[in-house]
Amino acid sequence: MKNILVLCTGNSCRSQMAHGYLADFLKDQDVTVYSAGIETHGLNPGALAIMKEDGLNISTHTSNHVDEYANVDFDYIITVCDHANENCPYIPSKNALRLHHNFFDPSKVIGTEEEKHEAFLKAREEIKGYFKNFVEKYFAA
């Protein structure tokens, strides 16, 4: 059994999308995916909508604080924004591989509905590609 933690600032958008893709890509493997934030901001409606457009329903996800998983021994800890990477509390996982990628934050975009949609689409595709490569690299059969 492998445990993966995806960590962001508020566990509302980028980490939730990453969690959705990892759970989907690894659904046939003995893996548990967790996502958390160093704060909790609730689920971002834009993230829910853009994932639904790609056939993934993340509406049952919850926004969780990283401290809730203090007793989980992670194999992978992946930070998806610089703020979380720089401010992450100590996570006592023995041999976790720690990875970082600062993904574009669509929740910061101000503009028309079309511009916001494009921002979420950009972030989703960036996240999807990164985690597809991650799965191919670390979970290849």
Q: Please give the positions annotated as active site.
A: 8, 81, 88
Structure-token pair, residue 83: 């703020």
Integer angstrom CA distances of residue 22 from 26, 28, 80, 118: 6, 11, 13, 22
User: What backbone phi and psi angles, to 5 degrees, belong to 35?
Assistant: -135, 150
- 3-class DSSP assignment, residue 34: strand
Contact 69, 39 (CB under 8 A): no
Residue 13's nearest CA partner among 126, 89, 120 is 120
Integer angstrom CA distances of residue 114 from 37, 50, 109: 28, 12, 11
